[in-house]
Amino acid sequence: MLDVRTVVFDLMAALSAIVGMAIGHAVMKQRLMAGTISALVFTSMIWGYLPHVAAIEVLAVGILCCGGAERAFRLRVSRSWVQRTKSEGVKLVPPFRGTWVVAAGGPIIVENHHIFFSDQQYAADFVRKDAASWNSEILAPIAGTVVNIVDGIPDETDTYDVPAETIARNPFGNHIVLEVAPSTFLFLCHFRLGSIAVEMGALVPVGAEIGRCGNSGRSRGPHLHMHAQDTPSQALDKAKGIPIQLEPYAYPAVGQMIYNVPWPVPIVLRELDHAKAYLPSNARSGSLSAGVILL
């Protein structure tokens, strides 16, 4: 005779696993994790008539398998991210004056929330070291032609009173798109309302002021978001991201302090060794991006 409670319990466990599969696949975008959970769902259904303890063991194995899948995914993304950036990255100079810090970026998932978006997987967020990002000059980090401008989006305030639908329609806020090479478009985002200093079609030289740092769009504090992709469209997760390098040809990664002062060459004060940093044994904590940047 079947134990109704056991059957109900195992069905609920299977349903939970299916939900987890959907979430894991949507967030991680990896068939590895989805396949692992699918196998666990099937196993749970086959063994659904076993006592509760068996169902719990199945779920425990599932947690371990998913953890291993996520770890493998993280390492694979990190290595391929670094390799492609070093070989294909668009070379840029610092797009600001003074000393700034990379608040989000690099190949480590927990330090770069952009990785999950195809268009922004090589993106980086920057804030001034002295926390005075608001209204700071933003400069063209490379010569290019202005192919798109969005202005008129209000900056967020301490009370976050900008309508949610406005942000949803304009996550990059006030921004500029530069065509810097064939099928290569550089996005510079979250400018202060009304501060954009270039016009459509203009050929902008490297180092020219293009606007002021603001807090428009999906943002929780004044910062500059920068990424390159293969189309000028601002539709999220549709274009293919293109790697960027930051003079002296180091990819932006969390914690880097970037100087742009009147010296012969802008320098990076501290270059993090991310060729090793993405390995689990060298995992780092205390990310500067926590609670600062959302896009």
Mean pLDDT comparison of 20-24, 77-81, 102-106, 185-189, highest-scoring range: 185-189
Q: How many residues does the chain have?
A: 295
Q: Which of 86, 137, 117 is nearest to 253 (CA)?
A: 86
Q: What is the pTM (predicted TM-score) of this model?
A: 0.66
Averaged pLDDT of the chain:
75
Distance CA 70, CA 178 (A): 35
Q: Could you tell me the two tokens for 293?
A: 């940047």
pLDDT the model gives residue 188: 98
Tokens representing residue 149 in the block: 């401008």
Q: pLDDT (tens digit, 9 = 90+) per residue, 191-214?
A: 999 999 999 999 999 999 999 999
pLDDT for residue 167: 83
Q: What is the pLDDT of residue 76?
A: 53
> Which residues lie closer than 8 Å to 243 by C-beta, 6 or more apart?
81, 84, 85, 88, 89, 90, 122, 228, 251
Looking at residue 262, what is its pLDDT?
A: 57
Chain position carrying tokens 């959302």:
294
Domains of the chain by start residue, with CATH: 4-85 (no CATH), 91-282 (2.70.70.10)
More confident residue, 221 or 277: 221
Residue 282: exposed, middle, or buried by beta-carbon count in 10 A (0-12, 13-18, 19+)? exposed
pLDDT tens digits, one per residue of 78-134: 788 888 888 889 999 999 999 999 999 998 888 898 988 899 999 999 999 988 999
What's the pLDDT at 200?
97
Burial of 276 (0-12, 13-18, 19+ CB in 10 A): exposed
pLDDT (0 to 100) of residue 5: 63
Q: Is the pLDDT of residue 37 over 80?
A: no
Provide the percentage of residues in the chain whose pLDDT is more than 90: 40
Please say if the pLDDT value at position 287 is more than 60: no
> Which residue has tokens 């063991």?
57
- pLDDT at 6 (0 to 100): 63
Residue 166 has which token pair?
């406005």
